[in-house]
Amino acid sequence: MGCVISHLSAKFAFFPPSPATYQIKKRDDGKLTAIYTSSSMPLTSAVGAVDDGGGGGGGGGCSFDVLSLRTRRGNKIVAFYLKNPYAKLTLLYSHGNAADLGQLFDLFVQLKANLRVNLMGYDYSGYGASTGKASELNTYADIEAVYECLQTEYGVSQEDLILYGQSVGSGPTLHLASRLPRLRGVVLHSAILSGLRVVCHVNCMFCVDIYKNVNKIRKVKSPTLVIHGTEDDVVNWLHGNRLWKMAKDPYEPLWIKGGGHCNLELYPDYIRHLYKFIYEMEIMTTKTRLSKIKLSQKTSSACGCCSCCIKVGQPSCPKCPKPRCPECCGLPSCLNCNSCCLNWNSCCCGSVKPKCPDLKLLKCPSCLGCGCFTCLGKCVRCSCW
């Protein structure tokens, strides 16, 4: 059954360019070089920059390394690493559907220069010169292999890494981001809630669904920038809007008025807002970042579930449930004050609750019952108040 689902998902989600726009060749010195399929010429940028030969590219001007990485699922994927000597951060770019590194090279050069970052882009299994077949699980293994390479070959830690996912690329991006709590940041560009939600407006999960970002976004602790076009006819703007609302640490979103699915880079606001995000992530100190993570962990541990109960005043009635925190679990508070509930002085949050000046003690013995919250709650509108 799992193989059938994977096969159907692959047919639904992945459309690698055929033929690939580039090829990989090995030079005499053993390094890899990238050439265009159509002309057999080294990869160049539209802005006139070419590889200087110091890396694994083709000519002179823009240095980049061409890498071949083996994933844990046995595929060999191709990655380009573009180094900026003035960069403090590294951008790991997961591209969208129907594209490969040959088509994106010019964009990579511009992002590297304009954002002042090192940039690592890669092709999924089955895309470009990468081997294997495209599938959800393969893309997860692909991005894990690229991240491992950044760590071991370039010394990039997660504290200095920003993950960037466009469209389908938001799937592997959030997969990795949900596992790296100290990431510097995440960018979701025309991102999807899930694969099935792109074609069907559904609010529940199905076994054939892929890239369930709607679940993984909740696990991402890093600042998250969402970019989406208001006229996107492939992935509706509502996808991006909901992801932004669900993010734990949402950054000011960029809704590009009139923007579609594949043209957001053409709008001036795109590079302007993205640069602002990168800059703010740069100046964010490690101490500030760690304090934000600790604060979010403290908040989630205090109010992360509805199983918390008051530490004092346990119910005397064995049939009634334990009293719950009125702030965490939304139980009713007293009539005229939202800061307290009956005579409770503290809750599972550890915060002391001030007593309501308008709160009156129960006088009616029949309302007191066994003394548990359920019985006491029946006296809220009683005349004995």
| CATH code of the domain covering residue 98 | 3.40.50.1820
Q: Is residue 18 part of a domain?
A: yes
Contact (CB, 8 A) for 345 and 352? yes
* 121: enclosing H helix or E strand: strand 118-122
Q: Is residue 96 part of a domain?
A: yes
Residue in 225, 75, 92 with CA at minimum distance from that of residue 138: 75
Do 350 and 273 fall within a single domain? no
Do 291 and 372 fall within a single domain? no
170 is catalytic: no
What per-residue confidence (pLDDT) applies to 198?
75
What per-residue confidence (pLDDT) applies to 196?
79
Q: Is residue 216 part of a domain?
A: yes
Do 45 and 108 fall within a single domain? yes
Average pLDDT of the chain to the nearest whole number: 78
* The two structure tokens encoding residue 228: 């989406």
What tens digit of pLDDT does each residue of 273-332 get? 999 999 999 998 766 766 766 776 666 555 444 434 333 344 445 555 444 444 444 434
Query: Mean pLDDT across the stretch 240-261?
Result: 97
Q: Whole-model pTM?
A: 0.72
Cα maximum dimension of the chain: 95
Contact (CB, 8 A) for 111 and 47? no
273 is catalytic: no
Do 289 and 353 fall within a single domain? no
Q: Is residue 215 part of a domain?
A: yes
Select which of 125, 222, 232, 273 is catalytic. 232
Do 43 and 167 fall within a single domain? yes
Identify which of 5-14, 189-198, 218-227, 331-340 has the greatest average pLDDT: 218-227
Do 209 and 322 fall within a single domain? no
Tally the domains of the chain: 2
Contact (CB, 8 A) for 92 and 81? no
Do 257 and 113 fall within a single domain? yes
What per-residue confidence (pLDDT) applies to 288?
73
Query: Mean pLDDT across the stretch 211-239?
Result: 95
Domain containing 317 equals: 308-385
What per-residue confidence (pLDDT) applies to 355?
45
Q: Is residue 281 part of a domain?
A: yes
Do 350 and 286 fall within a single domain? no
What tens digit of pLDDT does each residue of 106-146 get? 999 999 999 999 999 999 999 999 999 999 999 999 999 99
What are the CA-CA distances from residue 155 to residues 2, 93, 151, 160, 260 (Å)?
37, 17, 5, 10, 37
Residue in 146, 28, 9 with CA at minimum distance from that of residue 77: 146
What per-residue confidence (pLDDT) applies to 209?
83
CA–CA gap between residue 269 and residue 162 (Å, rounded): 20
Q: Is residue 313 part of a domain?
A: yes
Please, which pLDDT band fits residue 56 given cuts at 50, 70 and 90? low
Residue with tokens 């690329």: 169
Percent pLDDT > 90 in the chain is 59
* The two structure tokens encoding residue 131: 């081997």
94 is catalytic: no
Residue in 240, 221, 229 with CA at minimum distance from that of residue 163: 221
Q: Is residue 301 part of a domain?
A: no
Q: Is residue 199 part of a domain?
A: yes
Using the predicted structure, report yes or no on whether residue 375 has a pLDDT greater than 50: no
Give the single-character DSSP code of 42. Answer: B
Do 236 and 376 fall within a single domain? no
Do 51 and 117 fall within a single domain? yes
Domain boundary pick from 265, 296, 327: 296
Do 103 and 181 fall within a single domain? yes
Select which of 94, 167, 178, 190 is catalytic. 167
What per-residue confidence (pLDDT) applies to 197?
78
**Phi/psi at 161 (nearest 5 deg)?**
-120, 135
Using the predicted structure, report yes or no on whether residue 46 has a pLDDT greater than 50: yes
Identify any residues that bridge with 42 across adjacent strands, giving them in sequence order. 35
Select which of 175, 189, 228, 261 is catalytic. 261
Do 270 and 327 fall within a single domain? no
What per-residue confidence (pLDDT) applies to 296?
64
**Cα 82-213-157 angle, rounded to 5 deg:** 35
Percent pLDDT > 70 in the chain is 64
Domain boundary pick from 275, 296, 317: 296
The verdict on whether omega for the bond into residue 365 sits within 30 degrees of 0, i.e. cis, is: no
Domain boundary pick from 268, 296, 324: 296
Query: Mean pLDDT across the stretch 226-244?
Result: 95
